[in-house]
Structure 1
Amino acid sequence: MRYPGPGDPHRTSPPAPCGLPAELNGFVGRAGELAAAARALEASRLVTLAGPGGIGKTRLALRAAATLKNRYADGVRLAELSLLTDPELVAHTLLAAIGVTDHTGRPARTVLLERLAPARMLLVVDGFEHLVDVCAGLLHDVLRGAPGVTVLAAGRRPLRLDGETVLPLGPMSEEDAELLFTVRAAGTAAWQPAEGDPARVRELCRRLDGVPLALELAAGRLPALSLEQLLERTDDRFGLLTGGVRGALPRHRTLRTTVGWSHELCTPAERLLWARLSVFAGPFDLEAVEYVCSGPDLPSEAVLDVLGELIAQSVVTRAEGTGGARYRMLDTVRAYGAEWLASLGDTERLRSRHRDWFMGLATWCELEWFGPRQSDVAACADDALPNLRAAVEVCLERPDEAHLGQHLVGTLWFYWAGCGRLSEGRHWLDRVLAEDTRYEDARLKALWVLGYVAVLQGDDAAAAAALHECGEAAEAAGNVVAGAYATHRKGCLALLSDDMPRAERLLRRALADYDRAGELNSNVLMGRVELAMALVFQDRLEAAVAVCEEVREICGTFGEQWAGAYALYVLAYAAWTAGEHARARALLVECITVDHRFNDLVGLVLAIELLALVTASEGDPAEAAVLQGAAAPVWDSVGVTVFGSAHFGAPRELCARRAREQLGARRYEECVRAGRALPLDAAVRRALTAPERVRVFRARQRTGPPAAPDTREPAGLPTGNGGEAAG
Structure 2
Amino acid sequence: MRRSNLPAELNRFVGRAAERAALTALLDTSRLVTVVGVGGVGKTRLVLRVATEMQKRYGAGVRLAALAPLRDPALLAHALVEALGLTDHTPRTAREVLLHRLAEGETLLVVDGFEHLAEPCAALLRELLEHAPGLTVLAAGRRALRVPGEAVLPLAPLDAADAAALLAERAREAGAPALPGDAPAAGWPGPAGGAAAVAELCRRLDGLPLALELAAGRLPLLSVEQVLHRLDDRFRLLSDGAPGALPRHRTLRTAIGWSHELCTPEERLLWARLSVFPGPFDLEAVEYVCGGPELAPERVFDVLGGLLAQSLLVREDSPVGPVYRMLDTVAAYGAEWLAALGDTERMRRRHRDWYVGLATWCELEWFSPRQPEVAVRVETALPHLRAALDLCLELPEDAHLAQHLAGTLWFAWAGCGRLSEGRHWLERALAPESESEHGAARLKALWVLGYVTVLQGDRAAAVAALHECREGARASGHALAEAYATHRMGCLALLTDDLPQAEELIGRALDAYRELGELNSNVLMGQVELGMARAFRGDLEGAVALCREVREICRESGELWTRAYALYVLGYAAWTRGALAEARELLTECVLINHTFRDLVGLVLAVELLALVTVSGGDPVEAAVLQGAAAAMWDAVGVRFFGSAAFDGPRALCERRAAEALGPVAFEAACGEGRGLSAAEAVERALAAGRGPGGGAPASAPRPFRTAGPGAVPGTRKPAGSPTFKGGEAAG
Give the alignment's TM-score, normalised by structure 1: 0.66
| Residue number in structure 2 paired with 1:533 | 532
| Residue number in structure 1 paired with 2:374 | 377
For residue 642 of structure 1, report the CA deviation from its aligned partner. Answer: 1.4
Distance 2:569 2:631 in 1: 21
Matched, 1:268 2:368: no
Letter in 1 for 2:273: R
Q: Does the aligned pair in 1 maintain the 2:416–2:599 contact within 8 Å?
A: yes
For residue 266 of structure 1, report the CA deviation from its aligned partner. Answer: 2.0
666 and 293 in structure 1: CA distance in 2 versus 1, 3 angstrom threshold: same
Instruction: From the CA coordinates, give the structure whose radius of gyration is larger.
Output: 1
CA deviation vs aligned residue, 1:331-386 (integer Å, no higher than 9, x gap) = 23222222221222111111111111101100000001111110111111111111
| Residue number in structure 1 paired with 2:489 | 490
Indicate the SS of the match to 1:504.
helix
Structure 2 unmatched ranges of 5 or more = 1-14, 22-44, 51-155, 170-179, 200-211, 232-240, 698-732
Matched, 1:657 2:656: yes
Matched, 1:629 2:628: yes
Q: Does the aligned pair in 2 maintain the 1:78–1:126 contact within 8 Å?
A: no
For residue 258 of structure 1, report the CA deviation from its aligned partner. Answer: 4.5
Matched, 1:26 2:25: no
Q: Does the aligned pair in 2 maintain the 1:79–1:97 contact within 8 Å?
A: no
Which of 319, 322, 328 aligns to 1:322? It is: 319
| Residue number in structure 1 paired with 2:246 | 243
| Residue number in structure 1 paired with 2:223 | 135
Indicate the SS of the match to 1:326.
strand
Indicate the SS of the match to 1:372.
coil
| Residue number in structure 2 paired with 1:587 | 586
Distance 2:471 2:354 in 1: 33
| Residue number in structure 1 paired with 2:96 | none
For residue 394 of structure 1, report the CA deviation from its aligned partner. Answer: 0.3
Distance 1:125 1:478 in 2: 61
Distance 1:328 1:98 in 2: 28
Indicate the SS of the match to 2:18.
coil
| Residue number in structure 2 paired with 1:551 | 550
| Residue number in structure 2 paired with 1:331 | 328
Letter in 1 for 2:276: V
Matched, 1:561 2:649: no
| Residue number in structure 2 paired with 1:94 | 194
For residue 77 of structure 1, report the CA deviation from its aligned partner. Answer: 8.8
Q: Does the aligned pair in 1 maintain the 2:502–2:533 contact within 8 Å?
A: yes
| Residue number in structure 2 paired with 1:607 | 606
Distance 1:670 1:396 in 2: 51
Greater shift in the superposed pair: 655-664 or 310-319: 655-664
Distance 1:678 1:327 in 2: 36
540 and 25 in structure 1: CA distance in 2 versus 1, 3 angstrom threshold: closer
686 and 342 in structure 1: CA distance in 2 versus 1, 3 angstrom threshold: same
Q: Does the aligned pair in 2 maintain the 1:630–1:675 contact within 8 Å?
A: yes
| Residue number in structure 1 paired with 2:640 | 641
Distance 1:660 1:436 in 2: 56
| Residue number in structure 2 paired with 1:342 | 339
CA deviation vs aligned residue, 1:436-461 (integer Å, no higher than 9, x gap) = 12111000000000000101111111
Indicate the SS of the match to 2:317.
strand
For residue 58 of structure 1, report the CA deviation from its aligned partner. Answer: 7.9
For residue 291 of structure 1, report the CA deviation from its aligned partner. Answer: 0.7
Q: Does the aligned pair in 1 maintain the 2:214–2:310 contact within 8 Å?
A: no
Letter in 2 for 1:415: A
Q: Does the aligned pair in 2 maintain the 1:77–1:98 contact within 8 Å?
A: no
492 and 277 in structure 1: CA distance in 2 versus 1, 3 angstrom threshold: same
Matched, 1:469 2:468: yes
For residue 74 of structure 1, report the CA deviation from its aligned partner. Answer: 8.2
Letter in 2 for 1:596: H
Q: Does the aligned pair in 1 maintain the 2:581–2:694 contact within 8 Å?
A: no
Distance 1:59 1:556 in 2: 61
Q: Does the aligned pair in 2 maintain the 1:79–1:94 contact within 8 Å?
A: no
The equivalences for 1:211-222 within 5 A come to none
518 and 25 in structure 1: CA distance in 2 versus 1, 3 angstrom threshold: closer
610 and 662 in structure 1: CA distance in 2 versus 1, 3 angstrom threshold: same
Distance 1:393 1:95 in 2: 51
For residue 625 of structure 1, report the CA deviation from its aligned partner. Answer: 1.0
Distance 1:653 1:436 in 2: 47
Distance 1:240 1:484 in 2: 64
Distance 1:603 1:528 in 2: 16
Q: Does the aligned pair in 2 maintain the 1:79–1:93 contact within 8 Å?
A: no
Matched, 1:672 2:664: no
Q: Does the aligned pair in 1 maintain the 2:197–2:225 contact within 8 Å?
A: no
Q: Does the aligned pair in 2 maintain the 1:615–1:694 contact within 8 Å?
A: no
For residue 270 of structure 1, report the CA deviation from its aligned partner. Answer: 1.2
Q: Does the aligned pair in 1 maintain the 2:198–2:224 contact within 8 Å?
A: no
126 and 538 in structure 1: CA distance in 2 versus 1, 3 angstrom threshold: closer
Matched, 1:407 2:404: yes
Letter in 2 for 1:432: A
The equivalences for 1:163-562 within 5 A come to 243=246, 255-438=252-435, 439-562=438-561
For residue 132 of structure 1, report the CA deviation from its aligned partner. Answer: 3.7
Indicate the SS of the match to 1:319.
strand
Distance 1:267 1:655 in 2: 70
Distance 2:663 2:468 in 1: 50
Q: Does the aligned pair in 2 maintain the 1:80–1:126 contact within 8 Å?
A: no
For residue 502 of structure 1, report the CA deviation from its aligned partner. Answer: 0.4
Indicate the SS of the match to 2:294.
coil
Q: How many residues are treated as equivalent by the alignment?
A: 517
For residue 662 of structure 1, report the CA deviation from its aligned partner. Answer: 2.1
CA deviation vs aligned residue, 1:530-569 (integer Å, no higher than 9, x gap) = 0000000000000100011111111111111111110000
Structure 1 unmatched ranges of 5 or more = 1-22, 35-53, 82-89, 100-123, 139-155, 157-237, 245-249, 699-727
% of aligned pairs identical? 59
Distance 1:686 1:293 in 2: 48
Distance 1:97 1:510 in 2: 77
CA deviation vs aligned residue, 1:488-508 (integer Å, no higher than 9, x gap) = 000000000100000000011
CA deviation vs aligned residue, 1:174-227 (integer Å, no higher than 9, x gap) = xxxxxxxxxxxxxxxxxxxxxxxxxxxxxxxxxxxxxxxxxxxxxxxxxxxxxx
605 and 258 in structure 1: CA distance in 2 versus 1, 3 angstrom threshold: farther
Letter in 2 for 1:377: V
Distance 1:557 1:371 in 2: 9
Letter in 1 for 2:502: A
Distance 2:532 2:469 in 1: 24
For residue 316 of structure 1, report the CA deviation from its aligned partner. Answer: 1.3
Distance 1:64 1:351 in 2: 36
For residue 80 of structure 1, report the CA deviation from its aligned partner. Answer: 11
CA deviation vs aligned residue, 1:577-625 (integer Å, no higher than 9, x gap) = 2332222111100111111111111111110011111111112111111
Distance 1:519 1:478 in 2: 16
For residue 654 of structure 1, report the CA deviation from its aligned partner. Answer: 1.9
Distance 2:370 2:159 in 1: 41
Give the alignment's TM-score, normalised by structure 2: 0.65
